[in-house]
Chain A
Amino acid sequence: MKTLIKNARVVTPYDMREDSVFIQDGKIVGLKAGQVDESQFDKIIDLEGKYLAPGFIDVHNHGNNGHDAMEGTPEALESMSKFHISNGVTGFLATTMTNSPEDTVRAIQNAARYIKGQGQDAKVLGLYLEGPYFSQEKKGAQPAEYITDPNLDELKNFLDLAEGNVKIMSLAPELSQAKEAIAYLKGQGVTVSAGHTNATYAEAMEGIEEGITHATHLFNGMRPFSHREPGVIGALFTDERVACEIICDGIHLHPAAMKTAVKVKGKDKIILVSDAMMATGLEDGTYDLGGQDVFVKDGVARLENGALAGSTLTLNRAVYNMVHLVGVPLTHAVQMATLNPARAIGLDKEKGSIEIGKDADLIAFDEELNISLAMVNGKIQ
């Protein structure tokens, strides 16, 4: 089966070009400008000038469409996968949040099991453990009663049960035992992220020296940047090793903060994430996040105390906002939602760009980022 996608504006995302893309056996096998002999293809897709981009990869996603990764059921993950594909997300990390060890274990075991036999929708590419080793001061919507200092035995158990599927773990580097946890995670091939942290600049730098290379929703859940004590934000901002997640919904961050982040980090080190919770794709109302009531009004999710409780963002909107709120070129915004997240979880050899030999996880969209086609491993969804 050989497929041709023609009349596309291909966002590779290294550049934008008017090429045809050839697909065979679930892989991208060719890119060609100009006339193509269509007779050698079994299937021809005419994009009529729409954009063709690598499928978005949402590395920080709790849920959508009424379901949450913490439910710990295959149905929840399957439903999330289906919703994701409609928004151009072809791969995501099932993201846990701080909760009881039992609930966390259930979510981990469920995802590990699900990944082995998952279907053809957006792929669960692994797990993102957001917590429970966080700062009480910067907990955001993480339930305070389950936040603890790192426990290496517990952590080892989480990783064992995940069967190699933990791709990112977020923790606060200033906590007791955090350095040991970072070293252990790094040794296990897990990307270690600083999140929900009150770390000073010095404490954050120690964490980076130990192996932190990722920042969980930069700015949100962090000690504020100050010109005398730049804090954890200053460290994540300026250290070249670190890639930073940004929730580009126009609610979590002021556009100027996002623009500053892009200028400081550069297009290669910004990762667009949704941090979406179960109300995404649904109407305003009352929902659940980690056993807490979340009130969603005008698409903004808050706990009763007013703290933001995840987002209702989808990655196609994040890319759109990056272009229209922050003013970055579309190629860069797409890179922040494709290649950069793929790199963060070590999948950039297979995914994240339109290159010969990579997986044919492809999406098509218009100027408004409305998704008109999504393909996972060469199969149209």
Chain B
Amino acid sequence: MGVEFIEPAFIAVADGRIVYIGREFARARDLVPGAEVHDLSTCIAAPGFIDLHVHGALGWDFYDCPGEKINEVTEFFACHGTTTLLATVTTGDLEQMGAAVATLAQYMRWGGRGAEIAGIFLEGPFCSEARRGTFRPEYLLKPSWQVLKPWVEEYHEEICLVGLAPELPGAEDVVDALHAQGIKTCICHSDGDAQDLDRAVARGVTHLTHFYNGMRPMAHRDPGIVGAALARGGVTVELICDFQHVHPLAIEVAMRCLGSENIALITDAMRACGCPPGEYIISEQVAVVQDGRALIDGRTLAGSILTMDQAVRNMLSLGYPEVQVLNMASRVPARIAGLDDRGQLAPGRAADIVFLDEDYQVVATVKGSQLYIKEMSS
């Protein structure tokens, strides 16, 4: 179940799938005669990272990234170990959001390079004004199926996840309609209280995006969605482990209450990821990127400049066991997104593999039949 180490390991890949993983070189070779052989014997091979929440990199944001530039972003993330991602469309102008969905869906249909966009994550627009973060208030909408319907009708295969604030009037109807289409939902930028979480979970909303961030803080007489989730469990959450969004102690509290099996590491990376410090436009506002974080108005965090490999290294630096951490970057997000064919290294699964050196730096990434070496683009 992806929780053991095999050493030494030989992995045979054919047609983008793993056909053998084990200790016997001869068996690996016999299964794929004539295959190229790569010796990565000083590396750890782990399931490719799966990033459920990422907006962009290298100056591009999925909100307004031209279709022909998407490969730059996905190849960048592949070089940081990500083999699958949910392209996340931020709350913004409705027309632009629709255009972004259409662009991403077309890209997905044609197929691209680098990390695979396995689905679109709509981060809004049905979010709470009180917890909007950097979203512009004029773009926050009351939950309405009419808003999503045209996109879903056209792209229900591509839209994977929709984040919303479950306490808003009408949210439950939208949730039901999305679930009926096989689209997953999560709690996002919500000012909900403990009861709102209970109601949402009963409705099948069991995932929470960037846990702690964009949520009412946990108070001892008003625990909010955060406190209720920690207490009740039975939910999955994402954490932005860049040491800017969430203090290590808050990570530890989530680990103790929810368990690593229910926590997915994400980047929430935005267009400044992979770029030098400076000024970038996030949600149509100027974000200043310096010292490893992006701030609007000098105080509101505007996404991260994190990559999945750095998130893994950050978690390891806190002392969490490597198997747990690697799972949080692969198997757990695969389960949350319903991507059963990946997230672990086993015969029959997608050949999505990240090779890490002893410092957990990415040496190479295999995505299907492609091999990405980090130096290529970063």
Contact = CB atoms under 8 A, between A and B. Distances in A.
A260 B212 contact: no
A260 B223 contact: yes
Interface stretch (A37-45, A143-151, A208-216, A251-259): A251-259
Interface residues of B, number: 25
Interface in A312-365: none
A173 interface: no
Interface residues of A, number: 25
B253 interface: yes
A219 B220 contact: yes
Contacts of A255: 231
B120 to A, nearest CB: 27
B218 interface: yes
Contacts of B252: 238
A252 B256 CA distance: 23
B227 A234 contact: no
Given A254-B222, A256-B232, 6 more contacts: A224-B217, A227-B226, A260-B223, A260-B227, A260-B257, A263-B256
Interface of B: 194, 212-213, 217-223, 226-228, 230-232, 245-247, 249-250, 252-253, 256-257
A229 B218 CA distance: 12
A263 B231 contact: yes
Contacts of B226: 227
Contacts of B230: 256, 259-260, 263
A263 B218 CA distance: 15
B350 to A, nearest CB: 34
Nearest to B225: A256
Most chain-B CB neighbours within 10 Å: which of A225, A256, A264? Answer: A256
B253 A234 contact: yes
18 contacts: A201-B247, A224-B218, A224-B219, A224-B220, A225-B217, A225-B218, A227-B246, A228-B250, A230-B247, A234-B250, A237-B249, A238-B256, A256-B227, A256-B228, A256-B230, A260-B230, A263-B230, A263-B231
B212 A227 contact: yes
Given A238-B253, A254-B194, A227 B213 contact: yes
Contacts of B219: 224, 257
Interface string A215-248: 0000110001111111000110110000000000
A256 B108 CA distance: 42
A259 B249 contact: no
Nearest to A326: B231
Contact of B253 (A220, A224, A229, A237): A237
B228 A201 contact: no
A8 to B, nearest CB: 33
Contacts of B245: 227-228
Contacts of B247: 201, 226-230, 234
Contacts of A238: 249, 252-253, 256
Contacts of B232: 256, 259
A256 B226 CA distance: 10
Given A234-B250, A259-B232, A263-B231, A253 B220 contact: yes
Nearest to A218: B220
Contacts of A224: 217-220
Nearest to A201: B249
Most chain-B CB neighbours within 10 Å: which of A234, A253, A254, A258? Answer: A254
Contacts of A256: 194, 223, 227-228, 230-232
Given A263-B230, A264-B257, A257 B249 contact: no
A328 to B, nearest CB: 12
Contacts of B227: 254, 256-257, 260
A257 B231 contact: yes
Contacts of B256: 238, 263-264
Nearest to A259: B231
Nearest to B233: A263
Contacts of B213: 227
A264 B253 CA distance: 6
Contacts of B257: 260, 263-264
A230 B221 contact: no
A235 B249 contact: yes
A230 B249 contact: yes
Interface in A168-225: 201, 219-220, 224-225
Contacts of A229: 247
A95 to B, nearest CB: 21
A257 B253 contact: no
A260 B218 CA distance: 11
Contacts of B221: 252-254, 257
Contact of A257 (B212, B217, B220, B250): B220
A322 to B, nearest CB: 14
A255 B222 CA distance: 10
Contact of B223 (A201, A237, A257): A257
A260 B222 CA distance: 13
A230 B232 CA distance: 20
Nearest to A205: B249
Contacts of B253: 230, 234, 237-238, 260, 264
